[in-house]
């Protein structure tokens, strides 16, 4: 039997430290599914594990791509499964860690397959969005796939404000002449491993304090300079993320620096809330307080797999 120990939870909760402790105990390697940490140009703002942490256990999918590459969750699913196949040939255990719920689900459950979309349609949808804004995408989806629009509105309303996701929904509807939702959950993906799901959580105040502290540390470590180097490429998809967007607004003259820093903290707190909502949907996850002794969690896993 092969086991994929999967560690989930909100940002800044301590997932990295736990993953390293478990990797050392089970003598196995770590696969990151933090979609912000894939990019080699983004280090400070994505809280990439430091050199000491990276040396403590073998990591994969950390800064292995460039922001200039078009890298999708479907690409990641294929590459991660190939890597797991390789790792499981020499060990019964591997660790998956990250706060990107969509990427965790892609590895554990599989990703739905969609037809190739004509690039001209993608370009037209993008152009219309730039001219007409997010309302255009929302109206298009409501007309082309009313059932899916209603589902998102009820279950995950923040997605309606996400231009990348919304453009994808609309381009699939237009390009295939079918509702986006008709391509979902079409196939069962078999996996050759058993997931062991571990979640870390804390009181909201603790999470928020840890986030605020992390942002202050990032600023002290040079996030401003890192963002400055990336500023000429601010339109790239990879850079549409918390921690960079707010500082780009400072460079644009829209924010003062203190306000930008407070916005990073606020938006990261909101993001952590969405992460918890996503991960709490899975009833198979065993949740632990972030301060739980790592040996206790290790013992729980050992007993579970006996």
Strand boundaries in the chain, DSSP class E:
3-8, 30-32, 59-60, 93-97, 194-201, 286-289
Per-residue pLDDT at 176: 92
pLDDT in tens, 21-77: 999 999 999 999 999 999 999 999 999 999 999 999 999 999 999 999 988 888 999
Q: How many angstroms separate the CA atoms of 67 and 239, rounded?
A: 8
- CA–CA gap between residue 175 and residue 119 (Å, rounded): 9
Mean pLDDT score of the chain:
93
% the chain with pLDDT above 70:
99
**Higher-scoring residue by pLDDT: 158, 17:** 17
Asked if residue 12 belongs to a known ligand binding site, the reply is yes
Q: What percent of the chain has pLDDT over 90?
A: 81
Rg of the chain in Å (alpha carbons):
20
pLDDT of residue 80: 96
pLDDT: is 153 or 155 the higher one? 153
The whole-angstrom separation of Cα 121 and Cα 116 is 11
Give buried/exposed letters for 162-190 (b at 16+ CB in 10 A, else e): beebbbbbbbbbbbbeebbbeeeeeeeee
User: Residue 9, annotated ligand binder?
Assistant: yes
Please, which pLDDT band fits residue 209 given cuts at 50, 70 and 90?
very high
Q: Which domains does the chain have, with CATH numbers?
A: 3-111+189-305 (3.40.50.300), 122-183 (no CATH)
In this predicted structure, what is the pLDDT of residue 72?
A: 85
11 is in an annotated binding site: yes
According to the annotation, is 13 in a ligand binding site?
yes
- The answer on whether 277 is annotated among ligand-binding residues is no
What angle, 0 to 180 degrees and rounded to 10, lies between the N-to-C axes of helices 73-88 and 101-109? Answer: 50
The pLDDT of 274-278, averaged and rounded, is: 91
On the question of pLDDT at 228 being above 70, the answer is yes
Q: Kindly list the distances between the CA atom of residue 213 and the CA atoms of 104, 150, 205, 257, 265, in Å, as whole numbers in the listed order.
A: 26, 38, 12, 17, 9
pLDDT exceeds 80 at position 218: yes
């Amino acid at each position: 039997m092969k086991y994929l120990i999967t560690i989930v939870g909100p940002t800044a909760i301590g997932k990295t430290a736990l993953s390293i402790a478990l990797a050392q105990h089970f003598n196995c390697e770590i696969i990151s599914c933090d979609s912000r940490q894939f990019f080699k140009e983004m280090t400070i703002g994505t809280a990439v594990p430091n050199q000491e942490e990276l040396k403590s256990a073998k990591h994969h999918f950390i800064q292995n791509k460039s922001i200039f590459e078009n890298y999708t969750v479907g690409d990641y699913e294929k590459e991660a499964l190939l890597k797991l196949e390789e790792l499981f040939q020499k060990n019964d255990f591997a660790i998956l860690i990250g706060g990107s719920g969509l990427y965790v689900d892609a590895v554990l459950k599989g990703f739905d397959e969609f037809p190739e979309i004509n690039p001209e349609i993608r370009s037209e949808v993008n152009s219309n969005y730039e001219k007409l804004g997010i309302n255009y995408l929302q109206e298009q989806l409501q007309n082309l796939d009313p059932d899916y629009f209603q589902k998102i509105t009820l279950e995950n309303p923040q997605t309606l404000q996400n231009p990348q996701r919304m453009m994808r929904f609309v381009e699939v509807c237009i390009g295939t002449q079918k509702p986006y939702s008709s391509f979902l959950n079409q196939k069962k993906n078999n996996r050759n491993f058993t997931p062991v799901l571990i979640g870390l959580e804390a009181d909201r105040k603790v999470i928020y304090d840890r986030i605020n502290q992390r942002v202050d540390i990032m600023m002290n470590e040079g996030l401003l300079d890192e963002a400055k180097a990336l500023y000429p490429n601010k339109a790239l998809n990879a850079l549409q993320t918390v921690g960079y967007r707010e500082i780009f607004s400072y460079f644009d003259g829209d924010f003062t620096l203190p306000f930008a820093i407070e916005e990073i903290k606020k938006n990261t707190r909101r993001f952590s809330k969405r992460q918890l909502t996503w991960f709490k949907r899975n009833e198979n996850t065993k949740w632990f307080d972030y301060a739980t002794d790592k040996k206790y969690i290790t013992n729980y896993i050992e007993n579970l797999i006996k």
